[in-house]
Chain A
Amino acid sequence: GENVEQHPSTLSVQEGDSAVIKCTYSDSASNYFPWYKQELGKGPQLIIDIRSNVGEKKDQRIAVTLNKTAKHFSLHITETQPEDSAVYFCAASRKPPYSGAGSYQLTFGKGTKLSVIP
């Protein structure tokens, strides 16, 4: 099955600096890579995703890059703010061969605790 590795496990940055979180995956058939932000006591919130036919995607201060050859993808947060402090998870999934064949279950990394210091 799929295996997703995520680094670093903790990350502290000064407000205004950039933060980068990296993930690798093992299943070459994976084609969808979302990133989630989880605040204490809450469920994961989808913040950005990328599909395997795209190399980079940007949404305001957040960007994700994908290198299919190397099987790794990264989250970049620029101009960090204290409210960016949370645990971030990367995930990967593959499309089932046909509708009803199975799920698009997500395989998650272990998370990165990001602390933005004011």
Chain B
Amino acid sequence: DTGVSQDPRHKITKRGQNVTFRCDPISEHNRLYWYRQTLGQGPEFLTYFQNEAQLEKSRLLSDRFSAERPKGSFSTLEIQRTEQGDSAMYLCASSPSDFSYNEQFFGPGTRLTVL
């Protein structure tokens, strides 16, 4: 399967715990995005990487959130001191490097439940 993969698919945690999600983009896709989707809503942009550089962060990304993309390949999203409001589907998408091209391919998502 050459699509975007995410791990884990589901995560249940207690409030105050830290969680980390992983995203493996489509091979050779230089651009990587994280989005968050709550029930009944469309995905909302969180952050963007071009290769290993994090070039843009949404105001939704509080200080408790951090994302990395070492070596420009896979990416991780960590949430510290989780809150019930963090419960959502976290989606990763990747896109080719052509500057004029913005087709984004999404992974299956990680569903986070904070108890």
Interface size class of A (residues with CB under 8 A): 20 to 34
**How far, in Å, is A70 (CB) from chain B's closest CB?**
21
Taking beta carbons and an 8 Å cutoff, which residues of A are in contact with B? 4, 6, 32, 34, 36, 41-46, 49, 89, 91, 93, 95, 99-111
State the majority secondary structure of interface residues on A.
loop
Contacts of A4 in B (CB 8 A): 42
Contacts of B95 in A (CB 8 A): 104
Chain B residues 1-53 with CB under 8 Å of chain A are 4, 6, 31, 33, 35, 40-45, 48, 50, 53
Instruction: Name the residue of chain B whose CB is nearest to the CB of A42.
Output: B108
**How far, in Å, is A49 (CB) from chain B's closest CB?**
7
Interface residue total, chain B, C-beta cutoff 8 A:
29
Taking beta carbons and an 8 Å cutoff, which residues of B are in contact with A? 4, 6, 31, 33, 35, 40-45, 48, 50, 53, 55-56, 58, 91, 95, 99-100, 102-109
Q: Is there an interface contact between A106 and B43, defined as CB atoms closer than 8 Å?
A: yes
